[in-house]
Amino acid sequence: MEHGNQKGATLLRVMQPPELRGSQSGCSSKSGNGKSGCGSAAGQGDLSPELWEKVKNHPCYSEEAHHHFARMHVAVAPACNIQCNYCNRKYDCSNESRPGVVSERLTPEQAARKTLAVASAIPQMTVLGIAGPGDPLANPEKTFKTFELVSRTAPDIKLCLSTNGLMLPDYVDRIQALNIDHVTITINMIDPVVGARIYPWIYFEKKRYEGVEAARILSERQLLGLEMLTARGILCKVNSVMIPGINDSHLAAVNKAVKARGAFLHNIMPLISAPEHGTVFGLSGQRGPSAQELKQLQDSCEGEMNMMRHCRQCRADAVGLLGEDRSAEFTTEKVMEMEVSYDLERRQSYQQKVELQRDAVVAARKSELETLAGKHSSISILIAVATKGGGRINEHFGHAKEFQVYEVSTSGAKFVGHRRVDNYCQGGYAEEDSLETVVRAINDCVAVFVARIGGCPRKGLERAGIEPVDRFALEYIEQSAIAYFREYLERVQSGEITHSPRGDAEIRQGALIA
């Protein structure tokens, strides 16, 4: 059966709109310091002013912004129109952080009130996203009503939508009319044979499709929707779930296809799969990738386009900085009791202060990088960092729920991922088991930067060959990483230490977030 959208896809094989041209390739090759990473990672670089305005305080579209600005999701979209083998929306646990999980579902009116409540309490919250727990475009009226209400009362908040793409071509005009200028599409394949192993069925135009035919329709609709959005200048991010043995070797082709259609950012995420989640993949024992498998794939695609590496695969009701979740502070019951006063001026002045902090981080990194000028080495190392945000090393080892991982070389320091862990300190006492899970999570790192660390974990880390470093407490992360790397190189050159590649690390799934 031929779908109307096939013809449309041919007609709409468009290039990026002029205002975005140049920014795609440019930002993937240069950062603000001209050294490493992508434009979205580190400063304006060569992004156009218009594009920079769209991404600069968006925590998902700019790695740098994610240290300073927060986002929130509202769970107004319960229904879904496709089945993915990695998803089970029935599963709900307040300790669980992964897409599709929510504690309560909201009406558009409740969602709008919650957004104002969060905007009042967290002035650095700049983005409202609708990402489920089902598919926002399988619940179009609830989704668009929520955006309408919020855009009327809180015009400075950026609106984001995350979709599987099946219904996207039908709603592109409405998305544009509502000024939703960040859209995420989950695209796990462009080959329906691969897709049939990920999607058992879809429900489209009042009919259920299965297998290869279902995947073919889904893929066509996703790519058409992406082309239509980028033709209108709407910024698009593509999420892909890396599923070893199923689509891992296929994702490079997906990367090329979405880049050709004007996607701004590609976010390759690890499969979250455990039997207790009750998903098809969880129950069949399908594994997720290791940290190094994920990094290698992301690295191999990086020359092609901007890669997002700081995604936390958030719950559909997450609130706060990425890596923290304050949703429990904003339950419907609490929000109804809160005094909500949306104060645009206060929000703007707070955000200006955040911008100044951010400028200071960039300036510190730049000046530290100058100390590496003229040094050449093939050595690069990974460093894990305990941080509460603000771009500083400001978290106690025992309180860290995740470590941010930076790759450092003579080119500079680049954020390459994060690793969730269970708190080492739980209820005030140390757990040896927790230390083992932390070591497994950061086993590929040569050092861990912390604000403070106790004697026991310090010794345990040293035994595992990971150097605990607290002398940069409260300092800027990237500046400190570059300083550490310079000393590391000197120690290698003097023969004091030997540099050898570290092992692989485990991506911890379902770790505590509360």
> 215 or 243, CB closer to ligand SF4?
243
Sort 370 into a burial class: Cβ within 10 Å, 0-12 / 13-18 / 19+. exposed
Among 112, 128, 265, 322, binds ligand SF4 (CB under 6 A): 322
> 242 or 372, CB closer to ligand SF4?
242
| Contact range with ligand SF4 by CB under 6 A, out of 85-93, 280-288, 306-314, 411-419 | 306-314
Among 84, 202, 242, 314, binds ligand SF4 (CB under 6 A): 314
Asked if residue 77 binds ligand SF4 (CB under 6 A), the reply is no
Among 312, 365, 419, 440, binds ligand SF4 (CB under 6 A): 312
Asked if residue 313 binds ligand SF4 (CB under 6 A), the reply is yes
Binding residues with ligand SF4: total (CB under 6 A): 8
Among 116, 224, 311, 362, binds ligand SF4 (CB under 6 A): 311
Task: Say how many residues make up the chain.
Answer: 514
φ, ψ dihedrals at 269, nearest 5°: -115, 155
DSSP states along 424-479 = SEETTEE-HHHHHHHHHHTTT-SEEE-SB--HHHHHHHHHTT-EEE-TTTTSBHHH
Sort 310 into a burial class: Cβ within 10 Å, 0-12 / 13-18 / 19+. buried
Of 157, 160, 167, 181, nearest to 135 by C-alpha is 167
> 136 or 468, CB closer to ligand SF4?
136
CB of 173 to ligand SF4, least distance (A): 24
CB of 89 to ligand SF4, least distance (A): 15
> 68 or 71, CB closer to ligand SF4?
71
> 272 or 364, CB closer to ligand SF4?
272
> 96 or 220, CB closer to ligand SF4?
96
CB of 237 to ligand SF4, least distance (A): 7
Inter-axis angle of helices 251-260 and 291-302, nearest 10: 30
157 HSE (CA, 13 A, CB side): 32
Q: What is the rounded CA–CA span in Å between residue 386 and residue 405?
A: 9
> 124 or 313, CB closer to ligand SF4?
313
CB of 413 to ligand SF4, least distance (A): 21
φ, ψ dihedrals at 48, nearest 5°: -65, 155
Q: What is the rounded CA–CA span in Å between residue 413 and residue 406?
A: 6
CB of 465 to ligand SF4, least distance (A): 31
> 160 or 369, CB closer to ligand SF4?
160
Asked if residue 294 binds ligand SF4 (CB under 6 A), the reply is no
> Which one-letter DSSP state was computed for residue 124?
T
> 320 or 457, CB closer to ligand SF4?
320
Q: Which of residues 143-202 bind ligand SF4 (CB under 6 A)?
A: none
Asked if residue 60 binds ligand SF4 (CB under 6 A), the reply is yes
Asked if residue 129 binds ligand SF4 (CB under 6 A), the reply is yes
DSSP states along 313-339 = ---TT-EESTT---GGGG-HHHHHHSP
| Contact range with ligand SF4 by CB under 6 A, out of 80-88, 246-254, 312-320, 456-464 | 312-320
114 HSE (CA, 13 A, CB side): 32
Q: Which of residues 493-512 bind ligand SF4 (CB under 6 A)?
A: none
Q: Which of residues 4-43 bind ligand SF4 (CB under 6 A)?
A: none
| Contact range with ligand SF4 by CB under 6 A, out of 78-86, 136-144, 254-262, 308-316 | 308-316
Please check whether residue 46 is in contact with residue 23, taking contact to mean a CB–CB distance below 8 angstroms. Answer: yes
Handedness of CA 259, 505, 402, 114 (dihedral sign): positive
Assign 3-class secondary structure to 51-111. Answer: HHHHHCCCCCCCCCHHHCCEEEECCCECCCCEECCCCCCCCCCCCCCCCCCCCCCCCHHHH
| Contact range with ligand SF4 by CB under 6 A, out of 26-34, 38-46, 311-319, 330-338 | 311-319
Rg (CA), the chain: 22
| Contact range with ligand SF4 by CB under 6 A, out of 7-15, 310-318, 335-343, 417-425 | 310-318
CB of 486 to ligand SF4, least distance (A): 32
| Contact range with ligand SF4 by CB under 6 A, out of 24-32, 309-317, 427-435, 492-500 | 309-317
Terminal CA-to-CA distance of the chain, rounded, Å? Answer: 48
Sort 37 into a burial class: Cβ within 10 Å, 0-12 / 13-18 / 19+. buried
Sort 413 into a burial class: Cβ within 10 Å, 0-12 / 13-18 / 19+. buried
| Contact range with ligand SF4 by CB under 6 A, out of 217-225, 307-315, 369-377, 412-420 | 307-315
Q: What is the rounded CA–CA span in Å between residue 302 and residue 413?
A: 16
> 116 or 311, CB closer to ligand SF4?
311
> 313 or 394, CB closer to ligand SF4?
313
3 state DSSP class of 173: helix
φ, ψ dihedrals at 478, nearest 5°: -70, -40
> 317 or 475, CB closer to ligand SF4?
317
CB of 266 to ligand SF4, least distance (A): 12
> 160 or 435, CB closer to ligand SF4?
160
Give the footprint of ligand SF4 on this chain (CB under 6 A).
60, 71, 129, 311-314, 322
